Amino acid sequence: MNQEQLQELLKSVKKGEISIEEASAKIKHIPYEDLGFAKVDHHRGLRRGFSEVIYCAGKTVEQVSSIFQSLASKGNNVLATRATEDMYIEVKKNYPDAKYYPVPRMIALYQGKQKQVGSILVICAGTSDLPVAEEAAITAEVMGNKVERLYDVGVAGLHRLLLNIKLMEKARVLVVVAGMEGALSSVVGGLVEKPVVAVPTSVGYGANFNGLAALLTMLNSCSPGITVVNIDNGFGAGYAASLINKLGEIKE
Amino acid sequence: MNQEQLQELLKSVKKGEISIEEASAKIKHIPYEDLGFAKVDHHRGLRRGFSEVIYCAGKTVEQVSSIFQSLASKGNNVLATRATEDMYIEVKKNYPDAKYYPVPRMIALYQGKQKQVGSILVICAGTSDLPVAEEAAITAEVMGNKVERLYDVGVAGLHRLLLNIKLMEKARVLVVVAGMEGALSSVVGGLVEKPVVAVPTSVGYGANFNGLAALLTMLNSCSPGITVVNIDNGFGAGYAASLINKLGEIKE
Amino acid sequence: MNQEQLQELLKSVKKGEISIEEASAKIKHIPYEDLGFAKVDHHRGLRRGFSEVIYCAGKTVEQVSSIFQSLASKGNNVLATRATEDMYIEVKKNYPDAKYYPVPRMIALYQGKQKQVGSILVICAGTSDLPVAEEAAITAEVMGNKVERLYDVGVAGLHRLLLNIKLMEKARVLVVVAGMEGALSSVVGGLVEKPVVAVPTSVGYGANFNGLAALLTMLNSCSPGITVVNIDNGFGAGYAASLINKLGEIKE
Amino acid sequence: MNQEQLQELLKSVKKGEISIEEASAKIKHIPYEDLGFAKVDHHRGLRRGFSEVIYCAGKTVEQVSSIFQSLASKGNNVLATRATEDMYIEVKKNYPDAKYYPVPRMIALYQGKQKQVGSILVICAGTSDLPVAEEAAITAEVMGNKVERLYDVGVAGLHRLLLNIKLMEKARVLVVVAGMEGALSSVVGGLVEKPVVAVPTSVGYGANFNGLAALLTMLNSCSPGITVVNIDNGFGAGYAASLINKLGEIKE
Amino acid sequence: MNQEQLQELLKSVKKGEISIEEASAKIKHIPYEDLGFAKVDHHRGLRRGFSEVIYCAGKTVEQVSSIFQSLASKGNNVLATRATEDMYIEVKKNYPDAKYYPVPRMIALYQGKQKQVGSILVICAGTSDLPVAEEAAITAEVMGNKVERLYDVGVAGLHRLLLNIKLMEKARVLVVVAGMEGALSSVVGGLVEKPVVAVPTSVGYGANFNGLAALLTMLNSCSPGITVVNIDNGFGAGYAASLINKLGEIKE
Amino acid sequence: MNQEQLQELLKSVKKGEISIEEASAKIKHIPYEDLGFAKVDHHRGLRRGFSEVIYCAGKTVEQVSSIFQSLASKGNNVLATRATEDMYIEVKKNYPDAKYYPVPRMIALYQGKQKQVGSILVICAGTSDLPVAEEAAITAEVMGNKVERLYDVGVAGLHRLLLNIKLMEKARVLVVVAGMEGALSSVVGGLVEKPVVAVPTSVGYGANFNGLAALLTMLNSCSPGITVVNIDNGFGAGYAASLINKLGEIKE
Amino acid sequence: MNQEQLQELLKSVKKGEISIEEASAKIKHIPYEDLGFAKVDHHRGLRRGFSEVIYCAGKTVEQVSSIFQSLASKGNNVLATRATEDMYIEVKKNYPDAKYYPVPRMIALYQGKQKQVGSILVICAGTSDLPVAEEAAITAEVMGNKVERLYDVGVAGLHRLLLNIKLMEKARVLVVVAGMEGALSSVVGGLVEKPVVAVPTSVGYGANFNGLAALLTMLNSCSPGITVVNIDNGFGAGYAASLINKLGEIKE
Amino acid sequence: MNQEQLQELLKSVKKGEISIEEASAKIKHIPYEDLGFAKVDHHRGLRRGFSEVIYCAGKTVEQVSSIFQSLASKGNNVLATRATEDMYIEVKKNYPDAKYYPVPRMIALYQGKQKQVGSILVICAGTSDLPVAEEAAITAEVMGNKVERLYDVGVAGLHRLLLNIKLMEKARVLVVVAGMEGALSSVVGGLVEKPVVAVPTSVGYGANFNGLAALLTMLNSCSPGITVVNIDNGFGAGYAASLINKLGEIKE
């Protein structure tokens, strides 16, 4: 029930077309979405440029294709994560412009023109961290952010990182992706005064315990200003970095 | 060695006042801070409005007082965390304007005028989470942010939270502090499209395992856009939120 | 040895047909089931409407089929969990009315008429939690409960849940199934004053640690009235919910 | 805004005393509690016989006393958990009828007459589990349940338990409290066909890991129908058992 | 109801002094202890030479003293573990022959003559493991076993252990007590072909995690024939070793 | 080389019957086993009736076959654990009398006559625990023990266990194998006064954590006299039980 | 920019061929590697005899082959770890002298003459630990160390180890590789006064928790002088042992 | 007893200079140390300059004092770790030259002249890591090593570390002490080509889990050449570093 419908109802009350008891009951059962959050939801769609992301793990090729179609039909950008190539082939039949990114296993459809704003710098420690780093980068790009990449700059060869301080200082937000011991986020956090979103990866073996080591490292970082997302959660990092980066655009 | 000093050296080379070998050696041993990070460091001080924070745990009253004096002498705001009242009494002798916040156990000294910008909303689930929430809030205030508070709105009584959606939508960044099962961050993250910094607290008992339960909850949140700091790390959350909030101020 | 058999024995003693020593020995070796638990066991069968459930994991197709036949021959409802389609094909040869539920991978045979009493509401957070939710729902249905379903109402989109408060209030017991951070149980527990059986699922990745995150969340819930079963244990939740729901039927 | 107030507003609309726009605005900002949960909240108070429980840990004597007064003034039963004797002495000044239970460290005030319904059986394994068992028992009693106790019946001396099967069969719900290895809940769950709420305690040492051993035992029980609450959470168990027991009273 | 009482009952049935229904009811309610386990219990007391052990942790001085008296009155040996000196002073008032062992904090009362049979060798790695080792040794002595001690023979100085192989070969059972990394049990298990009961202690720091390291070492021992008890559970080890040692005495 | 042999050697030196170099070499090469452990080794072979067990996991079919041959050639019983059927087929070519046990995946060769002494009772909770239980049983049989089996007597149906108390009392040692929550060992330990070797299995799911739940249960058992081996370590339990059982045979 | 290039630049300044501003800018942006670490990097290559190691896991056959070629072209020894035979076949096409070690799955190319210095002794507990032990041994050999091997000397048969004390005393550094309970490192550490690098392996089952047991054992060793690397990290151990062993060669 | 000594003994036997019984006894009582390990032991004393270290935790003031006296009487350096000031006061009565180090809580007595060789660099991240760093440094000094210190160079301010690369390159071995996330060891390991002994400390809070975070970081370091000791084990690190450093002194 939207604003107009409510006013119509009140008019009917005024005109005596509907009894007070009936009106009272109707109002009492207004779905909550008409009173606040629903509008928020609406705003979301407008601001983000896309409605929802498809997490493909555990879904069939047909399910992914049909959800993709439903989302794409609204004219927004569409993003599918953890997608197989089979899924892409199916999606492509309806949306030949959809792109497949094999490293982070994502499908993306760009619709309409889009300004790429601000900049997010995605840094990763080693080449094995690339799938997660790219998941973050592509997510941010689809959400309308300008993204730079600085890959393979693990702390075992510190000079590779130090040579790129300029790049780090230029970005509004940094996403740092690292497995093994995950020390890169602490070093980056100590070099720049920017929000750093750290993503531990499950890359490593033995006492890495599937990413636990990197996760604890990042949570305990001695450099303040670092916040952390779940292990291997490149999507979450790209999403959070986008929300942060967009703050630089708001005119208040 | 700063820009001017380097130019002086080069002039001496040009004039033949110093041999090429000597100049080469001098340049080669320029401390790293003169070539990049040092300046960054300098920028930091300017932008942040304060140089460093004193983590008082494990320090003596005298040590805290003397570090405080050293930092305060530069005219910046000074912040001391995990401070006892004894430390405050000692600090106050030199800085009668210093304030003590008993709940988060912090000492703060505000120097000069300071614009409080943007706004950060600090939300907490229960009254036992207050020390951590206030640590975040005070940290952000000392760093020059406008801070709003929304306390005791745990998910067991959801309407308390829902009645305050407006407040949530008004803020640029949200800090969500919760112990026990830490579900509040997921709910808040689902209601607003803003960066959310989640802080698990060690409040709870039994299988809470000193904050582990809330930490895992927040890392696994089904609402994207949430990033997490260490258990009970109110300071880290306030610091990160400040970095994010300040992005809304930058003119590019 | 049942009540009648015992009385026959005592009659023989009285008539002198059996010596006191013989009778004494016989009574002393009465299996325990005749003196207490056995009757309980008997009661169980009557009350539950089925004797035992077949946990198919680790059993061969033939074993499942033969146990199924043995249980079904007593005229009760029969339930097989974690069953493959192959097992179903074999079972169906003897019991063409048996149904297969592919999502929770269960085989069920309904025999005789059955009143579906009370109502249990099974709520789940996301579509990936469906197998566990359906395992709970089908278990409860086979045990003679009326079951309602409210699926895909995770806390990231809270309004979906809030729009269905009526449904929640109508049920006698609620089963809440959630993976990732498992926050749904706390929110539901805060909205209704009914027993809530929470089921953590292993859905999620990274620091979810195969359901540990959701398990800890549910155990630490700030909403009282929530009890928890093992990770992915839909059967256990449906069984417990049935025991609780049936209390509403007892005339004392 | 309650039902009457809403009807008054609609009447004003009908009479033209208030414009449609004004009424529309007023309705749109009705606090959520008036549209659903608030009433639930109200219902809760009526049904439960008491509004809220005071968790005293981390609160001052004065805070406890003043919250107690505020809750007691509404005429309900009041319960305070994890309370010290000092808190009781303070509370008693205003409410001389308040009782203190030193073993579970609880304060309870019974106001008005109260029917004790159904029955809940609280079973515990050893004498060291008593504080948790009593927390469950007293909680249930204050909430209006008839409570029986069966203590010190750990599985190391199984006959003590078996001699009391009648008692177990008589109860509607069973609360089983056990530390160390927590095996008692599995045995009880195998003997009766009733809902069992299991409470692991932190009693034990070494590889008990503060209750983790008992918690895992209870979650993995081979007897279905058992649900589990947090370690040492006697209050939660009593609360959940009460919700379950009360189902036996509902006339539908 | 014992054998005689049952025969009396049956006689009454025969004589018609009691109706079949009455007899039937009586038999049906025979407490379980009369049908098997109770007798086992009786046997236990006879064989063990003492009825029950008092675990003093969490008991008052008065409680310990009164339980001690109750057990001692039956003429058996009595053992109290984790006892304070205060408890001993109280116990001694009634039983001046009771001894206090301050290292393992135990009280023991030896009554009547007792043959010390077989032999159990208690080995420990370092002097910090002594309290646990002595708890095992005293327990075994009170239960009627001959006990030898071989202390401070940790694997860091292997020759100390090797010089005592004879002693190890002479024993029927070995109890190996070790903290830190707990490697001693593997070495001992490799040297002798006897049952080895291993006791991890919480001695150590850091990644010892309160005895977890030693516990895992002992469970994973590459020497077969080693079984393990809980961390710091000297009593349990002494008890198990006694049960094993006594097998050497049985004439079958 | 014993005392006498050493003196003989020295006499030969004195008499010049052997050169100093020869004597020196003999003494120097007294393998360490001649100074203590070696004799133990020799005794072992005699007492155990077999030299070493082949752990087949990670070995090739050829390796297993050739080690088997080497051990069998000494006339002892031979045992191979975690063996595939392929390995058996290869072994059988040389030893047609070798038997294969598919459930515990073991190959055994019995050579010469063997007295089966004492008795070990292997108890298991559920049918899924059979592989581990049979590994324990076969190991004990090959080592010359009489073995009884009591399977599928989990605590969820306690009467099945209680009906077999006689069987339990008859055995010298009991091996209790249980997965899920592992409560069976506590119950058995409470019923009999015999050494109990408990084996946790990895049977179960969710918060069973691959046998951790059962392991902790068994370590924390409230029944004394229980010792524990590694998860799924049927071989270790059978071996330890054999060492214990054989004590009943020693004439001292 | 190397030493010569810097001097050229300064000469140009002197000659006025380049302005002071230009020179200043160039110097300020000298990559860090020219001011310190780069030379370190250079030194490394010279000292180690090879530049970088290829970790093949997660790389394609083509990637491995092309990186191998790039490294080999500089004339150094090249090492590839966790390499499949397919990778070797591809590498061999260009470098027919490359060797494949199937047990540790490594490819090595020796180029030029190389002095094998000092000696490193690699000890392992069981044959299943061989892949990790060989990874350590080959790594050390490729890095120019003399390597001895002492395999299958687990503590269950201690004499095998004791017979080889000479070998242990001869080495400069010892690498001890052990799975299961990992006790070997403590025993070795107690026998020799040399640096011991301990490598836990994931060999074992049950409560070994994929190498955690051995890892904790080694970290908690009661023998000082032991340091530990990650689970299964043979490469890391060989690398560290090489750095240590080479210290014996330095002329200062 | 070496080869020559043994031959001399046998010659004496031949010549009749010593009776067979005497010779037999000498040979038989060659303590195991005479066959290998003993010599090691002897060498140890000579090389180390002190026999054994006193771990004071859990010892009384008197015990410490008397062990100290016993060790000091042999003229070696003596070291006591985790010592209280009370212990020092007692020790000082007999050894006025003994020194107390309050930060690492150690007592050290230097006897005779001692050459301080090589150099070990102890680096620590923050001032809270000082007690552990000093424990390592003092241990190394007492063992005869030259020790340099580089403190408070955590990675949050990387330039502090980079400015000291010279110092790092000068040392033979580096001990890196760090709490919180422990990233310092990875960075140091990447900068120098020297053996690095990493010591995690329990400094930190929340998800640091008493040093677990730093421990995992160090074990998973992406820089090879790093080995790790137990949490807070400064003594172990100093001891291992000394063994490594001394290799640089050996003339072979």
Enumerate residue ranges in chain F where pLDDT < 50: 1-2, 29-50, 252
Contact check, Cβ <8 Å, B193/A44: yes
G79 and G126 part of one domain: no
Eight-state DSSP code of residue B251: -
Half-sphere exposure of F35 toward its Cβ, with a 13 Å CA cutoff?
A: 23
pLDDT of residue G146: 96
In chain H, the number of structural domains is 2
CA–CA dist H55, E204 (Å, integer) = 11
What's residue E80's pLDDT? 94
- Taking the CA of residue C26 and the nearest CA in chain E, the distance in Å comes to 11
Q: CB C213 to CB B216 under 8 A?
A: yes
Give the mean pLDDT of D118-133: 93
Closest residue by Cα to residue C252 from D170, F74, D17? D170
Query: Region G30-54: what's the mean pLDDT?
Result: 42
Q: Which of A219-228, E228-237, F111-120, H92-101 is least confident?
A: F111-120
Average pLDDT over residues E75-86: 91
Q: Give me the pLDDT at residue B25, please.
A: 65
Is position H21 within any domain?
Answer: no
> Which pLDDT does position E236 carry in this prediction?
95
Q: Are B127 and B136 in contact (CB under 8 A)?
A: no
Task: Return the pLDDT at B30.
Answer: 46
What mean pLDDT is predicted for residues D153-182?
89
The reported pLDDT for the residue numbered F90 is 97
Average pLDDT over all residues of chain D: 84
Q: Which of H156, H209, H223 sits opposite A186 (nearest CB)?
A: H156
Q: For chain E, report the end-to-end CA distance as a whole number of angstroms.
A: 30
pLDDT of amino acid E3: 54
Those chains having 3 or more beta-carbon pairs within 8 angstroms of chain B are: A, C, D, G, H
Over residues G204-224, the pLDDT tens digits come to 888 888 999 999 999 999 888
pLDDT over threshold 80, residue E1: no
Q: Which two tokens stand for residue B60?
A: 């003596």
G19 assigned to some structural domain = no
G80 in any annotated domain: yes
Interchain CB contacts (distance < 8 Å): A and B: 110
**pLDDT on residue G205:** 84
Beta-carbon contacts of residue B88 (< 8 Å; ≥ 6 apart)? B98, B100, B107
Percent with pLDDT over 90 in chain A = 48
Q: Check residue D3 and give its pLDDT.
A: 54
**Which residues, other chains included, contact E44 with Cβ-Cβ below 8 Å and sequence gap of 6+?**
E51, F193
The yes-or-no verdict on residue E175 having pLDDT over 60 is yes
Domain co-membership, B102 together with B121 = no
Residue C43 has pLDDT above 60, yes or no: no
pLDDT of G2 > 80? The answer is: no
pLDDT at B92 over 80: yes
Contacts of F241 (CB under 8 A, 6+ apart): F120, F136, F140, F145, F173, F175, F197
Based on the fold, state whether residues D51 and D133 are members of the same structural domain.
no
Would you say C103 and C134 are in contact if contact means Cβ atoms under 8 Å apart? yes
Percentage of the residues of chain E whose pLDDT score is greater than 90 = 48
Q: In this complex, how many residue pairs, one in chain E and one in chain H, have their CB atoms less than 8 Å apart?
A: 30
Residue among H154, H214, H219 minimizing CB distance to A207: H219
F83 within some domain: yes
Select the residue of E7, E11, E27 nearest C6 (Cβ to Cβ). E27
Q: Do the Cβ atoms of C180 and C208 come closer than 8 Å?
A: yes
pLDDT bracket for residue G43 (50, 70, 90): very low
Between D82-86, E120-124, H78-82, H159-163, the lowest mean confidence (pLDDT) is in H159-163
Q: What is the mean pLDDT of residues B10-37?
A: 64
Residue E76 confidence (pLDDT): 79
DSSP code per residue over chain G? --HHHHHHHHHHHHHTSS-HHHHHHHHHT--GGGGSHHHHHHHHHHHHSSS-EEE-TT--HHHHHHHHHHHHTTTS-EEEES--HHHHHHHHHH-TT-EEETTTTEEEE--S----EEEEEEEESSGGGHHHHHHHHHHHHHTTEEEEEEES--GGGHHHHHTTHHHHHH-SEEEEEE-TT-THHHHHHHH--S-EEEEE-----GGGGGGHHHHHHHHT-SSTTEEE--TT-HHHHHHHHHHHHHHTT---
Same-domain check for residues B229 and B197: yes
Task: Tell me how far apart the terminal alpha carbons of chain A are, to the nearest angstrom.
Answer: 30
**Domain final position from H61, H90, H109:** H109
How many helical (H) and strand (E) elements, i.e. helices and strands, does chain B have?
Answer: 11, 9
Q: Is a pLDDT exceeding 50 seen at residue A124?
A: yes
Name chain F contacts of G162, Cβ cutoff 8 Å: 32
| Angle made by CA atoms H167, H173, H177, in degrees to the nearest 5 | 80
**Is residue G197 domain-resident?**
yes
pLDDT at E33 over 80: no
Higher-scoring residue by pLDDT: B33, H195? H195
H36 to chain E: closest CA residue: E159
pLDDT for D183 beyond 70? yes
pLDDT value for A38? 28
pLDDT, mean of residues E215-233: 93
- The reply to whether C229 and C153 lie within a common domain is yes
- Output the domain CATH number for residue G239: 3.40.50.1970
pLDDT tens profile G121-180? 999 998 889 999 999 999 999 999 999 999 988 888 787 788 788 899 899 999 999 999
Query: Do at least 3 CB pairs under 8 Å connect G with F?
Result: yes
Task: Please tell me whether residues G75 and G164 are part of one structural domain.
Answer: no
In a domain, E205, yes or no: yes
Structure-model confidence comparison of residues E50 and A224, the more confident one: A224
Q: Report pLDDT for D5.
A: 66
Lowest mean pLDDT among D18-27, E77-86, E236-245, H111-120: D18-27
The pLDDT assigned to A142 comes to 92
Q: Which of C68-72, C113-117, G131-135, H209-213: highest mean pLDDT?
A: G131-135
CA F15 to chain G, closest CA, distance in angstroms equals 31
H113/F17: higher pLDDT: F17
Task: Tell me which of F79, F109, F139 is where a domain ends.
Answer: F109
F163 Cα to chain C: minimum distance (Å): 6
**Is residue E209 included in any domain, yes or no?**
yes
Statement: residue H146 has pLDDT above 90: yes
pLDDT for residue B142: 92
Closest CA to G64 of G107, G101, G109, G104: G107
Residues G133-150 as b/e (b if ≥16 CB within 10 A, e otherwise) read: bbbbbbbbbbbbbbbbbb
Q: What is the pLDDT of residue D28?
A: 54
**Are residues E243 and F195, on separate chains, in Cβ contact within 8 Å?**
yes
What is the Cα–Cα distance from D139 to D233, expressed in whole angstroms?
11
D148 belongs to a structural domain:
yes
Range of the domain at C86: 31-109
What pLDDT is stored for residue H213 in this prediction?
94
Residue in chain D nearest E35 by alpha carbon: D159
Q: Are residues D121 and D100 in the same domain?
A: no
Q: Which residues of B lie inside 8 Å of G (Cβ-Cβ)?
A: 3, 6-7, 10-11, 13-14, 16, 20-21, 23-24, 27-28, 30, 32, 35
Q: Which residues of B touch H (CB under 8 A)?
A: 31-33, 37-38, 41, 57-59, 200, 202, 210-212, 215, 230-233
Residue D67 backbone phi and psi in degrees, to 5: -65, -40
Which residue of F31, F38, F232 is in closest CB contact with G205?
Answer: F232
pLDDT single digits (tens) H217-248:
999 998 888 999 999 999 999 999 999 999 87
CA D80 to chain centre: 11
Partner-chain residue, chosen from A14, A16, A27, that has the shortest CB–CB distance to D20: A14
- pLDDT reported for residue H145: 94
Give chain C's largest Cα–Cα span.
79
Neighbours of chain C (3+ CB pairs under 8 A): A, B, D, E, F
Q: What are the pLDDT digits (tens) for C180-215?
A: 989 999 999 988 889 999 999 998 888 888 899 999
Does the pLDDT of residue C21 top 90, yes or no?
Answer: no
pLDDT of residue E5: 66
Q: Are strands C106-109 and C99-101 parallel, antiparallel or unpaired?
A: antiparallel
In this prediction, residue A45 carries a pLDDT of 39
Contact list in G for residue F200 (CB cut-off 8 A) is: 206
Q: Which residues of B touch H157 (CB under 8 A)?
A: 41
Tell me what pLDDT residue G48 has. Answer: 40
Residue A29 is predicted with a pLDDT of 47
Kindly provide the ipTM of the predicted complex, given to two decimals. 0.82
For chain B, what percent of residues have pLDDT higher than 70? Answer: 86
**Residues present in chain G in total:** 252
List, as one string, the DSSP characters of A107-158. Answer: EEE--S----EEEEEEEESSGGGHHHHHHHHHHHHHTTEEEEEE-S--GGGH
Percent of chain D with pLDDT over 70: 86
Q: Report the mean per-residue pLDDT for chain A.
A: 84
As a whole number of angstroms, the distance between CA C213 and CA C206 comes to 10
pLDDT at position C90, please? Answer: 97
Contact indicator for G188, G174 with CB cutoff of 8 Å: yes
Find the range with the poorest average confidence among A37-46, C178-187, H87-96.
A37-46
* Together in a domain, B101 and B133: no
Are A69 and A124 members of one domain? Answer: no
What span, in angstroms and rounded, lies between the C-alpha atoms of F238 and F121?
10
Mean pLDDT of D219-245: 94
Q: Are residues H150 and H201 in the same domain?
A: yes
Of G51, G82, G109, the domain-final residue: G109
Residue of F nearest to D162 (CA): F158
Task: Give the length of chain A.
Answer: 252
Model confidence at C71, in pLDDT bands (50, 70, 90)? confident
Q: What is the pLDDT of residues C234-252, one digit of tens each?
A: 999 999 999 999 987 765 4
pTM for the full predicted model: 0.85
pLDDT at position C244: 95
Interface test mutation site (partner A, options H220, H221, H226, max chain A beta carbons within 10 A): H220
Q: What is the pLDDT of residue G57?
A: 86
* Gap between the Cα atoms of B246 and B143, Å rounded: 10
When pLDDT is averaged across residues E187-213 and rounded to a whole number, the result is 92
Please name which of H58, H201, H183 lies closest in space to residue H128, comparing C-alpha atoms. H201
Instruction: Select from E43, E218, E231, E235 the residue whose CB has the most chain D CBs within 10 Å, as the one to mutate to test that interface.
Output: E231
Task: Answer yes or no: do B193 and B220 share one domain.
Answer: yes
Q: Which of B142-146, D14-18, E197-201, G1-5 has the lowest mean pLDDT?
A: G1-5
The answer on B171 and B103 residing in a single domain is no
